[in-house]
Amino acid sequence: MNYHIVTYGCQMNVHESEKIAGILREKGYDKETSAEEADVIVFNTCCIRENAENHAFGNIGALKKLKKQKKDLIVAVGGCMAQEAGKAELLRKKFPFIDVVFGTHNLSSLGELIDRKRRSKKAAVEILGERGETEDGVAPVRTSYPNAWVNIMYGCNNFCSYCIVPYVRGRERSRRAEDVLAEVRSLVREGYREITLLGQNVNSYNSDGNGGMSFPELLEAAASVEGRFRLRFMTSHPKDFTEEAALVMKRNEKICPQLHLPAQSGSDRILSLMNRRYTREKYLSEIAFLRRHIPDCEVTTDLIVGFPTETEEDFQETLSLVKEADFSSAFTFVYSPRTGTKAAAMDGQIEESVQKERIMRLVELVNAQTRAHSARCVGKTVEILVEDYDEKRGMYLGRDRHGRMGYFASDRNRVGEFVALRVTKANGVSLYGEPEEIRREENGTIADDATLPGNQGEV
Ligand code: 5AD
Ligand code: SF4
């Protein structure tokens, strides 16, 4: 039987979809196909901004015809949007053909819900409150070799005033460090070459005492796992990112010199209204410390424009932060009011035309800065971990240690290899070049490239 999963939103959701695939495989859905050929289609939704929700609504609605043609097709909707207050009912009302609805706290019951729906005509809907569980029982079907994601914690305690995540994902629950480390060890043994530790706020790992060690300790322990691999982590909150974590990055070669540190705004007044609990000065001093110790460390960020009451002066402070912090890239968002959050009820919501004009100016600045960072790589050699083959360009692609995409031509499969790329050209965010030397797997646990998961064979 075939399955198809549609994922919206962040890396957390991408990894969760790998777990959904794991559950479906256990139920006998053993092949991933297109929606048209699937026996079950799962929408793993996001509700962080209105456009993510609209996107999902549009795609689910578009299934009506297929569902009419294929009576046995099961359509399941889960994730953050399904968990949002009142949304499960709305989804069922708008799209009566939906068979299964599940939330963020009962991912692991998807299999059971599908069975329930198969037994009866009625839709199987189950949205649970927080149960304090960590979803560790589900084995993912990993789809991103040579990269692998590992959850270290779930949920968020921060209640940034614009953000719906704490409402749909519950309070912070840390996985036990020994379980995280066992997973990292096993991934490295299986041949994964880049591991990203995931959490909404990784720096407050172990806030519930369940981890057994602090985030810097966990990071160092993960970096001490034997084998050749890279380590990354996301997302860090500036109020919790510590000098200790920066020093662990410095001490451990395996940890990439790149930090994703969402600033959200450059204005102290807006940061305070956002309930971010740091100032611009503190933010800048953190990255100054980081760069003092790791001079080549690059910082990426998230920025929101058009937050309630944001003035042109506040916005100018965000623009000046981009320059001062010298971000190598940034995800930029227009503020989107989320029902139930504090900011949605604030006076001073900003007009759409003003938001649009500001985001355009911000994107222009960020793009120029990204191009400048990429251009500085020309003539240098960067280490690329090869991820895939791009049919359109006829080139292999992968990321350097700073997270930049690099492309090169090769007549044999390089997926999963570390390649030293001499950069000859930079085009916007991407680098192009020629491989200088290929560093073969050194630890001897992998005898033959053909045994690597995800190996695509010669092209
Ligand atoms: N509107 C716009 N952007 C948001 N983000 C979170 N909530 C909102 C919202 N209501 C952005 C933040 C966060 C990223 C994942 O999404 O920048 O860091
Ligand atoms: Fe949302 Fe703030 Fe938590 Fe990030 S830290 S998930 S922005 S509430």
CATH value at residue 96: 3.40.50.12160
Summarised one tens digit per residue, pLDDT across range 358-388 is: 999 999 999 999 999 999 999 999 999 999 9
Summarised one tens digit per residue, pLDDT across range 118-139 is: 998 888 998 888 776 666 678 8
Q: Which of 375, 403, 423 is the last residue of a domain?
A: 375
The average pLDDT across 48-65 equals 94
Determine if the pTM surpasses 0.75: yes
Tell me if 349 is assigned to some domain. yes
pLDDT of residue 128: 86
302 lines ligand 1 (CB under 6 A): yes
Asked if the model's pLDDT at residue 23 lies above 70, the reply is yes
pLDDT of residue 163: 98
> Pocket of ligand 2, candidates 46, 47, 154, 163: which has the most ligand atoms within 8 Å of its Cβ, to mutate?
163
Tell me if 137 is assigned to some domain. no
Asked if the model's pLDDT at residue 201 lies above 80, the reply is yes
Identify whether residues 242 and 319 lie together within a single domain: yes
Identify whether residues 226 and 326 lie together within a single domain: yes
CATH value at residue 394: 2.40.50.140
Whether the upstream peptide bond of residue 235 has omega within 30° of 0, thus cis, is yes
The average pLDDT across 390-403 equals 97
Identify whether residues 83 and 153 lie together within a single domain: no
pLDDT of residue 439: 43
Identify whether residues 262 and 328 lie together within a single domain: yes
> Which tokens hold the place of 435?
């491989």
The CB density around residue 68, as the number of other CB atoms within 10 Å, is: 10
Summarised one tens digit per residue, pLDDT across range 70-108 is: 989 999 999 999 999 999 999 999 999 999 999 999 888
C-alpha distance from residue 432 to each of 4, 391, 406 (Å): 33, 15, 6
Asked if the model's pLDDT at residue 449 lies above 60, the reply is no
**Distance between CA 359 and CA 365 in Å, rounded?**
10
237 lines ligand 1 (CB under 6 A): no
Q: Structural domain tally of the chain?
A: 3
Q: Which of 95, 126, 157 is the last residue of a domain?
A: 126
Asked if the model's pLDDT at residue 430 lies above 70, the reply is yes
The average pLDDT across 46-68 equals 94
Identify whether residues 241 and 174 lie together within a single domain: yes
Q: Which of 126, 155, 176 is the last residue of a domain?
A: 126
Identify whether residues 160 and 271 lie together within a single domain: yes
> Pocket of ligand 1, candidates 304, 305, 346, 356: which has the most ligand atoms within 8 Å of its Cβ, to mutate?
304
The CB density around residue 348, as the number of other CB atoms within 10 Å, is: 10
pLDDT of residue 446: 35
Identify whether residues 255 and 334 lie together within a single domain: yes
Q: Which atom of ligand 2 is nearest to the CA of 156?
A: 3
**Residue 353: which pLDDT band, with cuts at 50, 70 and 90?**
very high
Identify whether residues 51 and 112 lie together within a single domain: yes
Identify whether residues 254 and 154 lie together within a single domain: yes
Tell me if 140 is assigned to some domain. no
Range of the domain at 437: 381-451
* Residue 275 near residue 161 (C-beta atoms within 8 A): yes
Q: Work out the mean pLDDT of the chain and round it to a whole number.
A: 93
pLDDT of residue 108: 87
Q: Which atom of ligand 1 is nearest to the CA of 334?
A: 2
Identify whether residues 371 and 387 lie together within a single domain: no
pLDDT of residue 424: 97
The average pLDDT across 446-450 equals 34
Asked if the model's pLDDT at residue 440 lies above 90, the reply is no
Q: How far is the CA of 304 from the centre of ligand 1 (A)?
A: 7
> Which tokens hold the place of 326?
């010298």
Q: How far is the CA of 253 from the centre of ligand 2 (A)?
A: 29
Q: How far is the CA of 201 from the centre of ligand 1 (A)?
A: 14
Protein residue closest via CA to atom 2 of ligand 2: 160
Q: Which atom of ligand 2 is nearest to the CA of 169?
A: 6
Strands 405-408 and 395-399: what pairing? antiparallel
The CB density around residue 184, as the number of other CB atoms within 10 Å, is: 25
pLDDT of residue 134: 64
Q: Which atom of ligand 2 is nearest to the CA of 164?
A: 1
pLDDT of residue 133: 65
Tell me if 446 is assigned to some domain. yes
